[in-house]
Each structure stands twice: as structure tokens, then as C-alpha cells.
Amino acid sequence: MVRTGDDELDFQPLVTREGWRAFADAPRPEAPTLLPEAAWLGLDPLERDAYDRARMTHHMRLLVVATPAIRHITTTGRKLLAYNAPKATGRRGLIVSGPSGTGKSTAVQQLGKKYHVDTMRQANPHSDRIPVAYIVVPSGATPKMLSIELASFLGLPIRPRASQHEITNAVCTVLRKVRCGMVIVDEIHNLDLSTRAGAEASDQLKYFYEQIRATFVYAGIDVAEHGLFSGLRGRQIAGRFLTIHTSAFGDNGAEERSDWKKIIATMEQALRLHRHAPGSLVRLAPYLQERSAGSIGALDQLIHQAANDAITDGTERITKRHLDEILLDTASQGEPWALPAPQGRPGRKAAS
């Protein structure tokens, strides 16, 4: 989602042309300046409230950190774009696969943003170019649903009784006309190739792949486990796409521990707190890895929610108590997944 306008929140999803353009064209927001001690202490209540809200809004913005995975995906994607550019056939796509919370969507969105910015910088200011199309695969996707997702991104009108063939032809015509160079398909694990609808939806993506001279980028949760490479269709996908696997940060050697500390340091440098000691969060790197289960999303929540709690309670520095009190998602907390109730009569102990 992106914000447009100054007076109210007008959320534009990335799966619309307007939302994607606003995301891609948005400059990096400037961090609020941390006031000198005397000026800070001299703020009246209204000024203090506005100052604190500005800092808290800054902390709530997702800070995109150039993790090793994002750098690898961006570099590989840019090489693929160059490789595919002169080719009418024989192009290659990119699949980003991994567990939830490991930065797959963020990485492909940053890849698309970079390509959008680079392309539009070279284009005529009044060009109708649409460098990137971005869609999310809905659950239980059918071929027509995928065509409608792309048509919706482009803002194409869809007649209530329009056939799949009509919508598909309109989408392909427009994507060629605007010289779309990258098609990002997120949540690709929602395609179930074991069902007829899922297999046909996969064929629809293959048709777009063949009809549109663009680099296709897929992102999804553990796609091999979800059967994306199964059967004849899966083997065709595997033969046309490179796959990059993302994972949570663990404690697997000095290099990974160093990368984890660099990510924490980058987030810590962006904080706007008056009493926070630089480097104190880096020293908590093992604790933060354990709390977040190595998830960048969970780490972001931990640090920035703790920073806002430190503003609210007036301590102006993040302590371990702040971090301990933050509730994270179930996966990051290592909680056991909910299991079905044991079968049998109520009140009786399940057999072991």
C-alpha cells in the first residue's frame, strides 16, 4: 500500500497501476531531525506531541534493508533483464521461494521498483510506458481470474459477460503497446497444479509468458513443496525459470552472524530517540535472532515498536524490557500450531 495526499490516508494497492506508480516513484522519506537537548526539553505540549508523532510515524515506516537476499535477487534480476532484452524466444524468468517472513515480496517489489525507475528515467516524460505489471495470485485462481487481475492492474474496463479469451487478448495487446518489460506474480504458491483450475491457470501464465516480451518474476512460499514443479507443467516451469531460495537468518557461521548484526545496525541508525546508546541493539543480536526466529519482518516490528514504546513512556531508549513485552506473530514466537481436537468422547483422555 502507498499513501497519497497530505490530509488523509488514500491507500492505493500495488496491484493497481496508480498504486504501483506511486510506490515506484515515491522518494525515500526524509527522517525527522532529532532536536538538540535544550530545544527538545523546551517544547510545549502541543509541539512535543507533533514532534513525537513525526518520530513514531518515521519508525512505523518499513525500512527496506539491503539484505544479502535482496542484493542477490536484485543482481540476478538485472542480469536476467539484460539477457532477455534482445530475445523474442528463449527468455528466462525468476522464481523467489522461501518460508513466510523471509523478504520474498519485498525483494521482488524492490527489483521491480528499480527497473521502473531506470526505465522511466530514460523514457519521454509524456510516455505511456508501463515498465512493470504487478499482480497477486488469488486463492483458487482460474485462468480468467489471472487475466482479470492483469486487466485490473492496467485499469482496463471489463464487461460483465466478457470471455476469458476477450480479456486475455485485451491484456496482451495493452502490455505490448506500453512495452511492459517485467511482470511480477506474487503469492504464486496459490496455484495448485494438482487441481484442474490450478493447472489451467498455470497454462494461462505460460501463455502470457509466450505472448508478452517481458521478464516474468514469481514469488511464493516454498513453491516446490506446493507442487509448482510437479508433473509436465512443473517441469516446463523449472526449465524456464531460475530459482532463488530465501530463508530466515540463523546462527550458521560467522558470515551469517555478521550479516545479521549489519541489518540490526542499519535499523538502529535510523532510530530517532534521545537517550538510545548506539550499538546497544547490536549487542543484543543473539537475543533478537531468537525472538524474531531470524525473520526480517519480525525484527523490524521488534525494533520499531520498541522505539515507539520508548517515546510513549518517556525513556527515549530501547531496553530489553521493551523488547520482551512486544507480541510477535505465532511463527516467530515458536508457538505450536493449533492441532485438531483429539477424537473420542468428551472428557476422555486421548490415547498416547
pLDDT at residue number 332: 66
96: Cβ–Cβ under 8 A, 6 or more apart, which residues? Answer: 73, 104, 107, 108, 217, 218, 219, 220, 243, 244, 246
Query: CA–CA distance from 16 to each of 45, 151, 154, 207 (Å)?
Result: 41, 9, 7, 22
Write out the three cell numbers for 8.
Answer: 488523509
341: Cβ–Cβ under 8 A, 6 or more apart, which residues? Answer: none
CA distance 39 to 285: 33
Picking from 261, 232, 151, 136, the residue whose alpha carbon sits closest to that of residue 191 is: 136
User: Contact, 131 vs 184, CB < 8 A?
Assistant: no
pLDDT at residue number 9: 42
CA distance 265 to 280: 9
pLDDT at residue number 124: 79
Taking phi first (over 0 means left), then psi (-120 to 50 degrees means alpha), and beta for anything else, what does residue 301 get?
Answer: alpha
DSSP strands (E only) in 70-151: 93-98, 132-136
Per-residue DSSP letter, 188:
G
Domains along the sequence of the chain with CATH: 70-245 (3.40.50.300), 251-333 (1.10.8)
Query: CA–CA distance from 334 to each of 188, 230, 293, 329 (Å)?
Result: 26, 30, 8, 9
118: Cβ–Cβ under 8 A, 6 or more apart, which residues? Answer: none
Among positive and negative, which fits the CA dihedral 69, 136, 115, 85?
positive
313: Cβ–Cβ under 8 A, 6 or more apart, which residues? Answer: none
With H, G, I as helix, E, B as strand and everything else as coil, classify residue 4: strand
CA distance 91 to 108: 18
Picking from 115, 91, 123, the residue whose alpha carbon sits closest to that of residue 20 is: 115
Residue 86 burial by CB count (10 A; 0-12/13-18/19+): exposed, middle or buried?
Answer: exposed
What letter represents residue 135's amino acid?
I
Write out the three cell numbers for 319.
Answer: 531496553
pLDDT at residue number 89: 87
CA distance 239 to 229: 9
H/E run at residue 217: strand 215-221
Among positive and negative, which fits the CA dihedral 14, 18, 24, 28?
negative
Per-residue pLDDT of the chain (352 residues; tens, 9 = 90+): 443 334 344 668 999 999 999 999 988 888 899 999 999 999 999 999 999 999 999 998 866 777 888 899 999 999 999 999 999 889 999 999 999 888 899 999 999 999 999 999 988 777 889 999 999 999 999 999 999 999 999 999 999 899 999 999 999 999 999 999 999 999 999 998 888 999 999 999 999 999 999 999 999 999 998 889 988 999 999 999 999 999 888 767 888 889 999 999 999 999 999 999 999 999 999 999 999 999 888 999 999 999 999 999 999 999 999 999 999 877 666 554 443 444 443 343 333 3
